[in-house]
Structure 1
Amino acid sequence: MTEESRAYHVPTIASVFQVDFIGQQPATVWYYQKKTYFQRPGTSDSKHQIPIKNGTAAIRFRHLHGGLWAGIAWQWD
């Protein structure tokens, strides 16, 4: 598994994604939003990094809509 995501067809004020890693933790975790199905999960860059604290990575999104995707992605390397 390398991502957790959802499409937002109905306007959503707030949405929280949380991923709990048990044992090994990925090298990189990032978030993305307002991407099409084929654009997701985007690419990791310093602007979209999510820190892992006690094995947990979390992000809160606001005002998602338009059938576009948002989520958290990670890379194990």
Structure 2
Amino acid sequence: MKPYIESASAAGLEWVKSSYSGNNGNCTEVAALPDGDRAVRDSKRPEGPVLRFGSAGFRAFLDGVVDGSFR
């Protein structure tokens, strides 16, 4: 499994932005993939790179966001 998906493949996904996101444009969007994985992208660049996470990797990503690991 590649850790990313091609932007053309991401075009048909249903992207969701957190309700905590403001209107400043600095948002991360998430989409559920048919196989249960999650795709993550930057809302400022919807045509840009898309990261792909399995369930354990996505949980670790969320935990890192919550605990401030990415500051």
Give TM-score, length-normalised by structure 1.
0.27
Task: Give the number of the structure with larger relative contact order, counting CA–CA contacts within 8 Å between residues 6 or more apart.
Answer: 1
More strand by percentage: 1
More helix by percentage: 2
Give TM-score, length-normalised by structure 2.
0.29
